[in-house]
Amino acid sequence: MKPISRRSFVGQAGFGLAALTALGTTADAQLVYTRSDWNVSEFDKLLKNSARVKQAYDVIPIGDGKFLNNIKNSLNGLHFGFGIPMEQIKIVAALHGPANMLNYDDYVWGKYRIGEWLKIDDTKTGKPATRNPFYWSKAGNPPKYVSQDPDNEASSFQDISMQALQARGVKFLSCHTATEEQVKALIAKYNLPQQREEIVKDMLAHTVPGVLVVASMVAAIALLQSEGRFTYITV
């Protein structure tokens, strides 16, 4: 029998307002994804990836984005230091907790005042960031690099933006559970009038290109390790 979400059950059963009220204050939220709610097939491809080296970064704190530098160092060390071809390296950045917000674009950062909430300032203005400061490459869009020397800080090999790391094959994951929890916190902080799921859907429509939203990051990491044979690192 195919599992269904609570929202599907409510719709099929024809619950009225009284029944919804009985479910409590989270009736507007879908706190648990089932397999039919997200792109399981794309995640399965990650598990079956045949790269020689597979590494999963478990990232919760943003820490000024320093973990992005760690990922860059992994790529450079494996490729240049150990001579492993880039196509034989697969790195997954599993972002949850505060870091989950890095998976969302400038629209989300501006509309929901993410910089103010997470106390992240725009380095250009010194004010709370109203755009995602970790996604875009400083080399332009699309990035144009002046050097191919890996030692040159102006090369793609030293670019720690999410955009540049994606171009080098890094896969970023977003946690649906974290998004639900974070939206609840945003509603409380800013006294937002929208229902939680309305905001969640708005955010999910504005993930940065290439991001995969998984049902639960802690569960996804377990599968990456046990079935995908990804090595694990947390920063």
Question: Could you report the per-residue pLDDT of 218-230, keeping only the tens digit for each?
Answer: 999 999 999 999 9
| Whether residue 125 sits in one domain with residue 106 | yes
| Whether residue 182 sits in one domain with residue 211 | yes
| Whether residue 71 sits in one domain with residue 120 | yes
Per-residue pLDDT tens over the stretch 170-185: 999 999 999 999 999 9
202 in Cβ contact with 26 (< 8 Å): no
> Which pTM was predicted?
0.87
Fill in the DSSP letter of residue 208: P
| Whether residue 52 sits in one domain with residue 16 | no
30 in Cβ contact with 39 (< 8 Å): no
Per-residue pLDDT tens over the stretch 127-166: 999 999 999 999 999 999 999 999 999 999 999 999 999 9
| Whether residue 45 sits in one domain with residue 21 | no
| Whether residue 208 sits in one domain with residue 158 | yes
Q: Which domain holds residue 90?
A: 31-234
| Whether residue 73 sits in one domain with residue 19 | no
How far apart (Å, rounded) are the C-alpha atoms in residues 28 and 13? 16
Burial environment of residue 191 by CB neighbours within 10 A (0 to 12, 13 to 18, 19 or more):
exposed
Q: Which two tokens stand for residue 109?
A: 């950062």
| Whether residue 83 sits in one domain with residue 2 | no
The mean predicted confidence, pLDDT, of the chain is 90
